[in-house]
Amino acid sequence: MKALFSSGGAGSKKGGKKASGAVTGAGVSGSGSGSGSETMEPIELSREAKEAKRQELVERGRVLKEEIHAQETELAGLETQLYDQAVMIPNTTHPESPIGPESEARLVRIQGVPRLNPGVKAFAQPGVAVTSTTGSDILDAGGACGEEGRALLGNVSEYPLLDHVALAKHLDLVDFESATAVTGSRWYYLKNEAALLELALIQFATQRAVKAGFMPVITPDVVRPEVVQACGFQPRDEASQTYWVSTVAPGSTKATATTPDGGAHHHHQHSALCLVATAEIALAGMNLNRVIEESQLPIKMAGFGRAFRAEAGSRGAEVKGLYRVHQFSKVELFVLSKADHGESDRILEDIRKFQEDIFEELGLCYRVLDMPTEELGASAYKKYDIEAWMPGRNGWGEISSTSNCTDYQARRLNIRYRTNKLRQLQPQQQDTSSATPGAGGAVSNSVVSTEFVHTLNGTAMAIPRIIVALLETYQQPDGSVRLPECLWPFMAGIKEIHPK
């Protein structure tokens, strides 16, 4: 169209070319003898012919634009489908991880002796593989641990042990009824010594983490959904455990919008943020698109934040009291390491040792499980769960976990580090300008490149479940609760909790 209406008369030349405002006679007449060798002198189109040609080009442009839009829409849909399928692919798993469901978890060790209610003769759940029955780590899988193990199962209480719900009511520590009226089920108010106990546990875990070389961080509790997904969680699933935060009121005309296919989508899926299920997500996102010097690794962080979980579908005894709630305080460990499986596996064991040291100092009886493949989640390459014995449940309850995610999260968040890798360069690739002075002009094969880091995470303190374990473990005959000595400096002088 520009050529059609540009200035220049018929037959005029500019730069050795035909004027753009002229067309050949063959082009006007549409005549084509088929030879293609005839060259007719250009003639100038009339105003009417130009307008007709312009309309033809406008229509052609409109059709092309519609075709492009349709193909771009189709391409966008296909890319979305491909991405949605791709992000469902989990990390690889450690070659030594047990294969199968939760029942295939491998028992690593048990620390301490469970407190049992009168009449209870066995404590370990069946279906957990036994790896050892010697020394102080008495491992049991339904009573098959030998005479030594059965003898140690004799820590039976002389009085009935209450669960944490009864203890909390007796000691006026938790208000579930008011929270249900204000917010809904599985929310709670911590009161009196329980409020102090949460703050004490946060301080205790954070100080131990700082002494172990972790940098303390207070994390945001709200993040973009892209960060949640990059960490291996699926915030857009129909059965999502993720809470969404939106500035659009429910029921507002802006809350939903019509899609091109006539469907509806929620406004918050495109504009809002997510409440984090763990500070791990915020700590990982803190390093988004970051390039780190290799000398800085490993980077160790201890983040405090609130965790929010919808806990859709959970039922039964696990939802009772403080064990499975929608919001809780948490101190989370997060580490960036070099992309070396030996290095990150070593750090995983260090994190597990740190967790065990904390729970031993608290005086809890716990066991460590090497979790099987079906329990690893999307991001974990290898994971340990730590479960405390909870007399009120007459069973084990998870209080902590730690995972090596290798480079799964780092690839999605683009977290890399610079490294000098020695590789054999081809002669044409060698740069003599990089020769080391004094080395006889030898060419260095050291090439600066970047690699994705390995990320690891571990729970230092998940507050409500630790409160459950402490109340039930340290309860006394009169209904009071003795606190472990390591928490005394943070409890305003309180060493025992008594009825009001």
Length of the chain as a residue count = 500
Domain ranges for the chain, please list them: 2-24+40-86, 102-248+266-418+452-497
Of 36-50, 96-110, 342-356, minimum mean pLDDT range: 36-50
Q: Give me the mean pLDDT over the 206-223 stretch.
A: 96
Cα distance from N-terminal residue to C-terminal residue, the chain:
89
| 332 is annotated as contributing to ligand binding | yes
What does the alpha-carbon distance between residue 278 and residue 412 come to, in Å, rounded to a whole number? Answer: 18
Note whether 289 and 413 are within 8 A (CB): yes
Q: What is the pLDDT of residue 159?
A: 84
| 423 is annotated as contributing to ligand binding | no
Which of 3.30.70.270, 3.40.50.200, 3.30.930.10, 3.30.365.10 would CATH assign to domain 102-248+266-418+452-497?
A: 3.30.930.10
What does the alpha-carbon distance between residue 180 and residue 330 come to, in Å, rounded to a whole number? Answer: 22
Higher-confidence residue of 266 and 322: namely 322
What does the alpha-carbon distance between residue 7 and residue 19 come to, in Å, rounded to a whole number? Answer: 8
Q: How do residues 474-493 score in pLDDT, each as one tens digit?
A: 999 999 999 999 999 999 99
Q: Give me the mean pLDDT over the 176-195 stretch.
A: 94
Where in 309-415 does DSSP place strands (E)? 327-337, 366-370, 382-390, 395-404
| 309 is annotated as contributing to ligand binding | yes
| 328 is annotated as contributing to ligand binding | yes
Residue that the structure tokens 């009511």 belong to = 169
Structure tokens at 24: 């050949």
| 164 is annotated as contributing to ligand binding | no
Instruction: Classify burial at 364, counting beta carbons within 10 Å of its beta carbon; exposed 0-12, middle 13-18, buried 19 or more.
Output: buried
Q: What is the pLDDT of residue 304?
A: 97
What does the alpha-carbon distance between residue 254 and residue 248 come to, in Å, rounded to a whole number? Answer: 7
- Number of Cβ within 10 Å of residue 74's Cβ equals 10
| 239 is annotated as contributing to ligand binding | no
Q: What is the pLDDT of residue 491?
A: 96
Q: pLDDT at residue 238 above 50? A: no
| 400 is annotated as contributing to ligand binding | yes
Q: Give me the mean pLDDT over the 139-158 stretch.
A: 47
Which amino acid appears at position 201 of this protein?
L
Q: Give me the mean pLDDT over the 154-164 stretch.
A: 82
Q: pLDDT at residue 434 above 50? A: no
What does the alpha-carbon distance between residue 150 and residue 133 come to, in Å, rounded to a whole number? Answer: 11
Q: What is the pLDDT of residue 149?
A: 43
| 327 is annotated as contributing to ligand binding | yes
| 79 is annotated as contributing to ligand binding | no
Q: What is the pLDDT of residue 461?
A: 97
* Nearest one of 226, 330, 322, 236 to 277, comparing CA atoms: 330
| 404 is annotated as contributing to ligand binding | no
Taking each helix axis from N to C end, the angle separating 192-211 and 341-361, rounded to the nearest 10 degrees, works out to: 140
Prior bond of 260 cis (ω within 30°): no
Q: What is the pLDDT of residue 168?
A: 95
List Cβ neighbours of 364 (8 Å cut-off, separation of 6 or more). 112, 388, 389, 399, 466, 469, 470, 473
Q: What is the pTM of this model?
A: 0.75
Residue that the structure tokens 């204000």 belong to = 182
| 278 is annotated as contributing to ligand binding | yes
Q: How do residues 257-307 score in pLDDT, each as one tens digit?
A: 555 455 554 444 445 788 999 999 999 999 999 999 999 999 999 999 999
| 436 is annotated as contributing to ligand binding | no
Q: Give me the mean pLDDT over the 307-317 stretch.
A: 71
- Mean pLDDT, the chain, rounded, equals 81
